[in-house]
Each structure stands twice: as structure tokens, then as C-alpha cells.
Amino acid sequence: MLVDLWTGQPLYAREPNRRFVPASVTKVMTAYTAFKLVGEGKLKLDRHFLYTQALEDEWYAEGSNMFLRAGERPTIGQLLLGITTVSGNDASMALAEAATGSTGAWLDLMNANAAALGMNDSHFGSPNGYPDGGKTYTTAADLVKLGRAVTQDYPALYGRFFGHRRLKWGEITQTNHDPITGQVEGGDGLKTGYTAEAGYTLLGTAARGGRRLIVVIAGSPTARLRDTVGRNLIEWGFRDFDPKRLFAAGTRMGRAQVQDGASRSVGLALESDFAAALPADPAHTMKLAIAYRGPVEAPIAKGDPVARLQLRDASGAVVVDAPLLATEDVAKAGLIRRIGNAFAKWFG
């Protein structure tokens, strides 16, 4: 799936609501959960955490790792860098314990955040995406929502912790496996993943000229294919689509028919700016349409959402839509007016 975040428009999608195992892409939700706690003042980035022997015994060199040792006292910020840069399974578990005291309490926060973001087809059973018997799953559409939240709700924290190419902890220096960060223009995150069950996964993003694209790939059979397709989709999205603000908020777009109203129609205006990423190829035509269930029954109050403005592609599929609000009050018609309207409708 490839989405233009400025317009909210999917530029490409195949099975965007199919559930899959995200593997280490799970750690983006762990980072988001930490960002949210930091933003709420409930977690301090300079707070130290004593890494325990129990954590070392379970997680040292277990999959992707920061290689933490018992007795070390990393800060929350250092753990976050270990998660976002080198995908530390150990750092993820340490952060969960440091922030909430237990993995279970941390998972409750992760799943509550997923629900709040509208990630209705996602569930998290571990902080790091390590195989957990199918408890962790998500969809491409849900990961786009998560990517939007990480980059837009906490831009300063996102810029501080994502987009690094390497990390040194102790005597060990590791590189970031993200094929987007530093490898396409404007690429600055987010996360790759791999398990035998999940295949190779990616949640990636790049920003150019105030425009940000997010790409999701799941179930790739090889890392090379995942990386190549991810970069190609990002480049294609920037190259072959031209984002434009088509109409400003408040623009009057037409009228909707009204049933049993003092007026037989009501004006429609955009609630917010209407923008779209238009195909650069002029052969790809798009059309605007006003859609509503009507006639709209009176009474109607000014500002009521009564219709939607839709941009449709050549197949008729809706690629962008936005609410249209009533521009005036329409009272319910009196009995005589309703009888007259009925006759007018009857005789065409």
C-alpha cells in the first residue's frame, strides 16, 4: 500500500485490509506508545533503567539486538534509539518494563493506542514482534494510520529517534536495515521486519517539499524484493502524482435536493480544503461528483453534513472524498407547502 499523507489518498493498494504478521514493524507501535507517554509527561527520556539479569538471560543476542548486558543503565532515550535504529528486541522489552513495570501493562497501552487510532484490524501480543503464536497481527491500512500518527502527532520525537543509519552501544556498532532511510531522497524511516512466519515486512516513509508518502509491504519472500519494491513505490508516488489543492474550505460546490422543506434545495460547501494527488499522465482522467442519500429530509441546520464531494478515477472508484456542509438552515415546510411539493414531485 502507498498513501499520500497530505491528501490522505491511497496511490496504490492491494489487499490493504488483509491481516498479516508484522514482525519487527511492531516496534513502531512501541515507539509511538513511548512518544505518547513522553508527550503526556509520564515518561522522561533521560530516566535510567537498570537492565536485569533476567532480561539478559531471555533476550541477549535473541534476534535483532542492542546487546544490552545485566547491570547496564541505559536511558529511555537510548532504549528508543536501540529500537528505532537497530530493532533491538532486548531494548523493546526493557522499555516496556521501564515505562509500566510489566510487559502486560505495556501491551494494554499498545492495544489501547491502536484502538484510539482506529486500527481496528490490529492486535499486539508482544512489544517487539517476536513470534507469539499469532497474537500480533495488523493490516496495511492500519499501519498507514500508525505511520501517520508517529510522523504527524510527534514530529520532534520522530525526527530525534527515527532516521539514524547506525548505532554504537558499548563496543558494538550496527547499521540500520531500513531500505528507505538515507537511500531515497527524503527517506527518514520507519521500520523493517522479518520472521519465518511473517516473511519480510516494511513500513517506510519519505518526505519531499512538505509532502510525505508512506509505504507498507508484507509477506515478501526476500529482503531484496521488499527493499526494491519499497523504494520503487516511493519514487513512483513522488514522480507520477502531482498533489494540488483543488478547492479551499468554504467553497460552494452545488446544491442538494430537500424533502418537505421550506426550500426545495440546500447549498453545499466544503468543510475543509479539498486536495488530491493527481496522476501526472493526462491520459488518466478523474471526475468530481457530489454524493448523498436524498432528497435530504428537512429540517436542516446550517453546518449539517449532508453530502460528500468525491474524486473518482476512470473506473468510478472513489480516490478522495470530503464532507459537504449545508450553507443555510432549511425549516420543515408547512402542510400547504408539503402538499404542493408532493404535487410538484408527482407531476415531475
In the annotated binding site for substrate, the residues are 191
List residues forming the annotated binding site: 191
Decide if 87 is catalytic. Answer: yes
Cell numbers at 8, concatenated: 490522505
From its phi and psi, is residue 287 left (phi > 0), alpha (psi between -120 and 50) or beta? Answer: beta
| CB of 244 closer than 8 Å to CB of 275 | yes
8-state DSSP, 334:
P
List Cβ neighbours of 57 (8 Å cut-off, separation of 6 or more). none
What is the distance between the terminal CA atoms of the chain, rounded to a whole angstrom? 47
Helix locations, 117-216, DSSP H: 140-153, 155-161
For the chain, give the longest Cα–Cα distance. 88
Q: What angle do CA 158, 55, 85 make, to 5 degrees?
A: 25
Active-site residue (options: 64, 87, 92, 126): 87
Cell numbers representing residue 250 in the block: 468554504
Can 24 be counted among the known catalytic residues?
A: yes
Three-class SS state of 101: coil
Active-site residues: which are they? 24, 27, 87
